[in-house]
Structure 1
Amino acid sequence: MSWIQNERARAWTKRINYVDGTSPRVLVVDDNQSAAEALVTYLGFEDIESRPAYGGAEAIAAARSWLPDVIVMDISMPYCSGIEASRAMRADVTTQGIAIIAFTALDEEEVRRHLVDHEFDGYCQKGQPPTTLLALIWTFLLRDK
């Protein structure tokens, strides 16, 4: 496990999901469809199976049906924010073990001010090189070789 710590990307928990020889599954959640699709494309080049969800409610449904290993979650979305979606997933036995990364333009302290419990396992500020987010995703994964 590579532990990432810097001012713009940080693991908040030590949650690990085991990948059984297949590609890890990452759900990318963002109401900006172009941004979500660009990140899905990038992750595909990194041998990560990923799918987009274009809002919090869609993310909850996709997480329940697809069961990703990691969710990259935008915070500021209309109708159902990333925080609300993450709370719903933590309350559901089907999705409570999925690692969730807050991926937002908000700074880390602003995100933490809105949290009640352990809604997120990590934080990455948007605008970082994609390799920073990729390294953070891998902190929550252990591949069975």
Structure 2
Amino acid sequence: MTAAPRVLVVDDNALNVELVAFVLDADGFTVASATDAGDALRQIPLFRPELILMDIQMPDVDGLELTRRLKADPATRHILIVAFTAYAMKGDEARLLAGGCDGYLSKPIDVASFATKVRHIITGRTE
């Protein structure tokens, strides 16, 4: 039996975290959450996520800076990091990918397709 994919949701908005965790958990994922960069850095070595859904606009250290730190660290650079943001301006996706993110998912989520999109990112497939 294959282990459930582990996803860490890093977002300072509790409602976003709750919705994403509910949707992913219902589809067989193991989900943990962090509310800021410090919390994420404490949880990553314990939870060992395959994927981090990273909110970009957070207090203190923003998601893009945390992504850069994680991608610079040999212990965490293998983890897939997907920007999870309401940013939808032209050029934002390219900026986030250039900043080290492995993908981009926009908020608000489409509950019907979100888990499938996350699973495709983890397995390396595209839609």
What TM-score range do you get, normalising by the shorter chain? 0.7 to 0.9
Q: Which runs of 5+ in 1 are unaligned?
A: 1-19
TM-score by length of 2: 0.84
Select which of 109, 112, 125 maps to 2:94.
112
* Residues 1:48 and 2:29 are matched in the alignment: yes
Q: Which runs of 5+ in 2 are unaligned?
A: none
- Gap change, CA 1:114 and 1:100, over 3 Å in 2: closer
What's the Cα RMSD here?
A: 1.9
| Higher relative strand content | 1
Give me the identity figure in percent: 31
Select which of 53, 67, 76 maps to 2:48.
67
Higher relative contact order (CA 8 A, sep 6+): 1
Give yes or no for contact 1:69–1:99 (8 Å, CA) kept in 2.
Answer: yes
Partner deviation per Cα, 1:66-111 (whole Å, 9 max, x = no partner): 2101111100001011101111110111111011110100016225
* Residues 1:36 and 2:36 are matched in the alignment: no
Select which of 129, 141, 145 maps to 2:110.
129
Figure out how many residues of one structure are paired with residues of the other and give that number: 122
**Separation in 2, partners of 1:70, 1:115:** 15
Instruction: State the shift of 1:136 in Å.
Output: 2.5
